Amino acid sequence: MARDTFEPSRDIPSLKGKVALVTGGNAGIGKATVRALAYHDPKAIYLCGRRHEASENAAADLRKETGYQNIIVLDMDLSSLESVKKAAAIFIEREDRLDLLFLNAGVGGTAYALTKEGYESQFGINHIGHTLLTQLLMPTLLATQEAGSDVRVVLTSSNAVFAPSAMLPRGGLDLKSMRKPDAYQPMTLYSHSKLANALFARKMATEYPSLSTTALHPGVVKSDIWGKGAGGLLSMILRPFMMAVWVNIDEGAKTQLWCATAPRSTEKNNKGVVSGAFYGPVGKLQPYKGASAKQELVDELWDWTNAELAKHGGPGWAH
């Protein structure tokens, strides 16, 4: 399918028999992703959200709109690793396969806070919670791949990954400060967390070459994420520019849907999805540069995150 003309209603193939899980599926591009998938008849779509009532309302709306009934609400608060573990356990009890994992939920420019386990909240929600979820679901992902499915893991990142060095901690990562809620301005903390998403995708691609793991910038999307934040002076300066170019949630969901459903790249089709790559709208390859291109940061983040998750009962990585 052509990237420039990708239309989910037409170009997503049948998902019959497949299971998808979407974090942050109750609003924004997460909800748009669930909607688009529902029209292609998967076995089940798990809609994950922090607020149960909002998730149930979103699921009810989508069932009515699409006619697809097997949208299952899964309560998950990514700021609590215990909540992530509980949600993963429920999923594993119910399902023996997972074909499409959308690590979509996120916060941006929010006021200073710590997660339940004491991590800077944007980093904790956008990276640490999602990494634990992936770790817990990896045995199911691998079993699904071994059964013959083309398994995809898709991370909703941001073009903040390529932010100037002034918008990132010095050196790109500052993991020693991730228990200090106010170590940097909110938008710097956002860029830091989104850099972590991209570095994680790169490492996943090398650790699990049989799976497809990609990170992406969805575009500047008119979404609830930007209604939650404190943001600081930088956010106030950037907001008018964002308003001039932002797109609706259905348009914003296209790149992650493309990453999850387009054919993978081959020698004969080098325009397909490349595991470990970073894409912008719609499915346009964006080469890593700056901090995102540094292999030492990929390894540093992986080792640090695994050590932190182990402190909270993380099972380690299945192979």
Query: What tens digit of pLDDT does each residue of 187-221 get?
Result: 999 999 999 999 999 999 999 999 999 999 999 87
Q: Give the pLDDT band of residue 231 (cuts 50, 70, 90).
A: very low
What's the pLDDT at 269?
A: 79
Q: Is the pLDDT of residue 242 over 50?
A: no
> Could you give the CA distance from residue 136 to residue 68 in angstroms, rounded to a whole number?
28
The alpha carbons of the chain give a radius of gyration, in whole angstroms, of 18
Q: May I ask the CATH architecture of the domain 8-311?
A: 3-Layer(aba) Sandwich (3.40)
Q: Is it the case that residue 223 has pLDDT exceeding 70?
A: no
Give the pLDDT confidence score for residue 299 in this predicted structure: 98
Give the span between the Cα atoms of 83 and 88, in whole angstroms.
9
Burial of 64 (0-12, 13-18, 19+ CB in 10 A): exposed
pTM attached to this predicted model: 0.94
Half-sphere exposure of 279 (CA within 13 A, CB side): 29
The C-alpha angle 172, 114, 230, rounded to 5 degrees, equals 75
| Averaged confidence pLDDT in the chain | 92
pLDDT at residue number 3? 64
Q: What is the pLDDT of residue 188?
A: 94
Write the burial class of residue 311 (CB in 10 Å: 0-12 exposed, 13-18 middle, 19+ buried). Answer: exposed
pLDDT tens sequence across 78-127: 999 999 999 999 999 999 999 999 999 999 989 999 999 999 999 999 99
pLDDT tens for 246-274 read: 789 999 999 999 999 999 998 777 889 99
**In the structure encoding, which two tokens stand for residue 300, read together?**
């540093």
Residue 233: pLDDT above 50?
Answer: no
- Whether 161 contacts 168, CB under 8 Å: no
Which has more pLDDT, 227 or 64? 64
The span from the CA of 223 to the CA of 28, in Å, is 5
Give the pLDDT score at 237: 46
Pick from 197, 93, 81, 90: nearest CA to 133? 81
CA-CA distance, 125 to 80, in Å (whole number)? 8
Q: Domain ranges for the chain, please list them.
A: 8-311
pLDDT of 142 strictly over 50: yes
How far does CA 132 lie from the centroid of its chain?
13
Amino acid in the structure at residue 155: L
The closest of 211, 205, 22, 194 to 104, measured between CA atoms, is: 22
- Looking at residue 294, its pLDDT comes to 97
Q: List, by residue number, the catalytic residues.
A: 157, 190, 194
What is the distance of C-alpha 167 from the center of its chain?
A: 21
CA distances from 27 to 23, 49, 115 (A): 10, 9, 21
The predicted-structure confidence for 2-38, as pLDDT tens digits, reads as follows 566 899 999 999 999 999 999 999 999 999 999 999 9
Q: Is 130 helix (H, G, I), strand (E, B) or coil?
A: helix
Token pair 């008119």 is at which residue?
Answer: 222
Sheet holding 152-156, edge to edge: 71-75, 44-49, 19-23, 100-103, 152-156, 212-216, 278-280, 284-285
